[in-house]
Amino acid sequence: MMHILVVDDDPLQLEQLSRILQQIQYPPVEIFTADSYGSALRLFNAIVFDLVITDLRLPEGSGLDILKEVKKTNPMVPVIVMTAFSSAQEAVEILKAGADDYLIKPTKAQDIEKIVLRSYEKNMLIRESFLPPLEGKTTSPFAEGIIYKSESMAFVMQIAARCAESDATVVVSGESGTGKELVARFIHERSLRKHKPFVAVNISALPESLAESELFGHKRGAFTGADTDRIGRFELADGGTLFIDEIGDVPIYLQVKLLRVLQFGIIERVGENTPRKLDVRVIAATNKNLPQLVEQGLFRKDLFYRINVITLDLPPLRERKEDIPLLVQHFIEKFNQRNHRMVQGVSREAMEHLMRYDYPGNVRELENIIERAVVLSRGDIILERDLPPLPFGRPSSTNTLSFPLDYREVLGSFERTLIERALQETKGNKSAAARLLGISERHLRSRLERLYPKDSPLLKVTQ
């Protein structure tokens, strides 16, 4: 069944649209109505919708404001904007804002039926894409782990593919967990150096006293504990690519030596005066603002200009949520093989749960969530209960909860969020949480047992 949200401040228009939708024989639909921007968002935050139809002009806001909020939360939900004006300019503006389609008032039954059927078929295709083949090994057009269909990520990968053919130094910037090393490997594997070593070193993981030896190597006796000669990462990468992760953490005293390598291709091991000529391409990564570090005197300006030949800025996962279903499918396949499971996909409610979250840990955090779900899932479909409780989005006036609430009016997947918020407010006290929700303690216990596995810590909270 399709869940459809219709938003219009005209009660007659709402009634007419509801009547048209109720007469649709296929697909079956359930209709929810709202008469303002605020009431529409409250419903959208409480229920998993398959389609939103909204008037352009509303009290408290506009249809374009609703469009923006819906697409920010879940870009997969189609949004149709209705307008009383048939000007081409307004239609273009609606579509440019991200609407999937628009309707001219007075709306016609056949137009609405076509939109509903088209949205339903699109949802079915998306659901099928959640299900990886169960037989044989799939071949992916993507680099290992770099899964995307968003325009922002496609733009980055186009530049990465083009710069792979050169030897230019590349800086890959982005938040932790966005896949900076995967992009570096992508560049290496498509370069003329692909048959030579790809060597990675994370500067932030090294003690400052060992960073120089790790990068450039050392001669026996150069310092206490140097019992043998050691080859550094630069020499190991000779002819290939050296990936320096977290280059913003390179100590100042080492930055001069690093600059010399980049300019002249010459290194000297610690404790040795013999120059060694190398042929190494450097790809650096950082989650810090390098220009800001330069202003603070923590990063040399000449080194910054030397490495900043080509910069790739990886968008965080919260800004490319349309990639989440593809990533989920990829990780299901990956962890099925690793854990000998046969999980086929995720439920609609579980996918909505995943789409609403902002992922401060980015793709790496999503990967961990799916691995946990694959391992703990009791069936062949990942359900919402198999996912960890996730705080949805950034705090705002539209999704902040206030207590008490009438529990019976809260529907669908929002139920788990309500219970967890109530238990958090009462520090795990079930009796107090039940009073906040307006239900009996027995009812709350019944819902906890149904919504959560037996080993869930929520079933063991304070009485």
Model pLDDT, residue 406: 40
The alpha helices in 23-101, defined as continuous H runs, are 37-46, 63-73, 88-96
Note whether 453 and 326 are same-domain residues: yes
Note whether 329 and 375 are same-domain residues: yes
Which helix (DSSP H) or strand (DSSP E) does residue 162 occupy?
Answer: helix 151-163
Note whether 338 and 440 are same-domain residues: yes
Tell me, yes or no, whether 136 lies in a domain: no
Note whether 159 and 277 are same-domain residues: yes
- Strands (E) located in 322-449: 345-346, 381-382
Q: What is the three-class DSSP state of 456?
A: coil
Model pLDDT, residue 412: 42
Note whether 62 and 166 are same-domain residues: no
Model pLDDT, residue 93: 81
Q: What is the CATH number of the domain that holds 82?
A: 3.40.50.2300
Which residue, 389, 387, 395, 443, is CA-closest to 416? Answer: 389
d(CA 245, CA 200): 7
Tell me, yes or no, whether 143 lies in a domain: no
Model pLDDT, residue 369: 93
Which residue, 54, 199, 178, 190, is CA-closest to 115? Answer: 54
Q: Are 74 and 321 in contact (CB under 8 A)?
A: yes
Mean pLDDT, consecutive 10-residue stretches, the chain (463 aa), reads 87 87 82 88 83 88 89 86 76 83 84 84 57 35 66 89 90 93 93 93 83 84 71 92 93 90 88 87 94 93 92 93 90 91 86 88 93 89 86 42 41 65 77 78 77 64 52
Q: What is the CATH number of the domain that holds 159?
A: 3.40.50.300
Q: Which of 286, 313, 340 is the last residue in one of the domains? A: 313
* Residue 383 domain boundaries: 319-460
Model pLDDT, residue 331: 92
d(CA 20, CA 239): 68
Q: Which of 129, 145, 170 is the last residue in one of the domains? A: 129
Note whether 325 and 452 are same-domain residues: yes
Note whether 165 and 306 are same-domain residues: yes
> Which residues, at least 6 apart from 171, have a Cβ–Cβ distance to it below 8 Å?
247, 283, 284, 285, 286, 290, 307, 308, 309, 310, 311, 312
Model pLDDT, residue 393: 44
Note whether 423 and 327 are same-domain residues: yes
Q: Which of 129, 163, 185 is the last residue in one of the domains? A: 129
Length of the chain: 463
> Which residues, at least 6 apart from 264, have a Cβ–Cβ distance to it below 8 Å?
none
